[in-house]
Amino acid sequence: MGAILNLVERNLHEVRVDADRLLFHIPSSSLFAADELIGSIIDTLREQGCSSEELLQRLNHFDGQAVNETLRELIALEVVSDGSPLTPEIGLKRVERTALNTVVLNVNTGCNLSCTYCYKEDLDKPSAGKRMNAETAEASVEMLLRESPDEQRYTVVFFGGEPLSNRPLIEHMVDYCERRFAEEGKQVEFVMTTNATLLTEEIVDYLNAHRFGLSVSIDGPKAVHDRNRITVGGQGTYDVVRRKVEMLLARYDSRPVGARVTLTRGITDVETIWDHLFNELGFAEVGFAPVTSGDISAFNLTSEELVDVFANMKALGRRYLEAALENRNIGFSNLHQLITDLHEGHKKALPCGAGLKMLAVDHKGELNLCHRFTGSSLPTFGNVHGELKQEALNDFLSQRLDRTNTGCASCRIRNLCSGGCYHESYARYGDPTHPTYHYCELMRDWVDFGIEVYSRIMAENPAFISRYITPRKAH
């Protein structure tokens, strides 16, 4: 009697698309179609474990050699277990070394807007803004080169408040970085998120010449945008932002410009917002960030609204699919990123690059996990004028890496979500290593939806993938 075979349910998730059975292989985040034989093996073992001899008898209407070959493949994928120890899913039990390639410079805590929902804990009015100086900014770049000398490409992100309120520092650092990284034979790219209010034709042409990756914070049509994105004096900003955005999009041609939308209580109409920003204003991509754990609970989406948001994202996703089958990309970046992750088999041990590939520097030079933590009470990880506290950073990341006794240990999207945003956990639970449990089921459903969309595109128009997904790796 051979070893008893059992299905390893934690490594396998099925999604049915019409008559097709798709198997999502959780350890590798890859997707494959189950033919009749694979489906029969899974169904048989799901009913009851048995030996390979018994399996052959039960599946005697299939060719015996084909059954054995398929079984070997499923055992190799660890979808079926023959009793051998399974490979630890995350080989690393501890982060020993980070490979920093991105630094976020919080160039000014001051902002000329006073958005009601802003998560920035160090935000100031323009007159009180704390500006980063050139010495701190340069030291941040030198830290990148010192800590991770083997990277080929680095990213410098300018963040605020409103980063353009410290324009002299941005221009100084662009000159500094272009010279320094060239000396080392390295490439550098610049990224900035702006509220667009300070843009002029001269500034846009400057940013264009240096190929900045730009995102504009804008929440949708006037009635939606002006609810929360207001001046310090309480006035809505839609009219000025729209005027500046139209000028920006007419002049900017070095890279696609994206819109970043914050969804707060009472705002769930994803399709209308997308339609305005993509079709009317002409942004290349529109991404949505639902607020569920902001400091001011009055702005957090209710659990019912969050259900609406995901339902509306799926409605927009169906439009994305319809367009993709016609070889058009409608710039819905949340779904576009999920499909990219599925296509490339992304497997994340940690939720994002914070602390691992990226650190954020505040005006004093303190090293924060990401831009959301500057000004928070979370201990920092050193200072660019001193040293990076690598051991403390390793300890922190290793805590999140350990999924023991968490719902993430057997969750089917554990390698796509990896427990969720650190800052959201910090805001909601007071612990950035705590998984964000409050919308797990919605996220699982969203990933299933993404699998269905991806499989339909692959079946009916794979040219969309090669045109719009694969090139993203080049950026």
pLDDT at 344 > cutoff 90: no
How high is the pLDDT of residue 168? Answer: 97
Q: Which 3 state secondary structure label does DSSP give 130?
A: coil
Distance CA 379, CA 397 (A): 14
DSSP state of 214: E
The identity of residue 267, as a single letter, is I
Q: Which pLDDT score is estimated for 93?
A: 66
pLDDT exceeds 70 at position 89: no
Does the domain at residues 4-81 carry the CATH identifier 3.90.930.60? yes
Identify whether the C-beta of residue 204 lies closer than 8 Å to the C-beta of residue 248.
Answer: yes
Q: What are the φ/ψ torsions at residue 292 (nearest 5 degrees)?
A: -125, -10
CB neighbours of 329 closer than 8 A, spacing ≥ 6? 323, 336, 464, 467, 468
Question: What does the angle CA 398 – CA 399 – CA 400 come to, to the nearest 5 degrees?
Answer: 90
Instruction: Find which of 27-36, 144-153, 285-294, 413-422 is predicted with most confidence, using mean pLDDT.
Output: 144-153
Task: Name the residue with higher pLDDT: 318 or 415.
Answer: 318
The whole-chain average pLDDT of the chain stands at 91
Q: Give residue 54's pLDDT band: very low, low, confident or very high (50, 70, 90).
A: very high
Give the per-residue pLDDT at 173: 98
Residues 426-471 have pLDDT tens digits of 888 889 988 988 889 999 999 999 999 999 999 999 999 999 987 6
Whole-angstrom distance, CA of residue 192 vs CA of residue 444: 31
Instruction: Catalogue the E-assigned strands of 60-167.
Output: 80-81, 102-108, 153-160
- Predicted confidence at residue 474, as pLDDT, reads 41
Distance CA 46, CA 80 (A): 10
pLDDT of residue 423: 87
Question: Are the CB atoms for 438 and 292 separated by under 8 Å?
Answer: yes
Mean pLDDT, residues 329-340 taken together: 96
Asked whether 206 and 171 are in contact (CB, 8 A), the reply is yes
Question: By 3-state DSSP, what share of the chain in percent is helix, strand and coil, each rounded to 5?
Answer: 45, 20, 35
Q: Is the pLDDT of residue 296 over 70?
A: no
pLDDT of residue 125: 60
- What is the predicted pLDDT for the residue at 38? 96
Q: Residues with Cβ < 8 Å from 305, sequence gap 6 or more?
A: 265, 266, 268
pTM above 0.85, yes or no: yes
CATH number of 99-475: 3.20.20.70
Mean pLDDT within 116-143: 79
Q: Is residue 473's pLDDT more than 80?
A: no
Least trusted range by pLDDT, from 206-220, 227-241, 277-291, 308-322: 227-241
More confident residue, 154 or 473: 154
pLDDT confidence bin for 374, thresholds 50/70/90? confident
Looking at residues 62-88, what average pLDDT do you find? 93
Q: What percent of the chain has pLDDT over 70?
A: 95
Q: How confident is the model at residue 391 (pLDDT cuts 50, 70, 90)?
A: very high
pLDDT attached to residue 292 = 84
Work out the percent of the chain whose per-residue pLDDT is above 90: 71
Domain limits, the chain: 4-81, 99-475
Confidence band, pLDDT 50/70/90 cuts, at residue 95: confident
Q: What is the pLDDT of residue 135?
A: 98
Side by side, the strands of the sheet bearing 153-160 are 285-290, 258-263, 213-217, 187-194, 153-160, 102-108, 358-361, 367-368
Average pLDDT, stretch 13-23?
90
Torsion angles phi and psi, residue 382, rounded to 5: 105, -170
pLDDT at 126: 59
Question: Quick check: 472 pLDDT over 80?
Answer: no
Least confident of 134-138, 152-156, 390-394: 390-394
Residue 119 has pLDDT above 60, yes or no: no
Out of 139-153, 237-251, 275-289, 369-383, pick the least confident.
369-383
Q: Which whole number is the average pLDDT over 296-309?
A: 87
Q: Distance between CA 392 and CA 383 in Å, rounded? A: 13
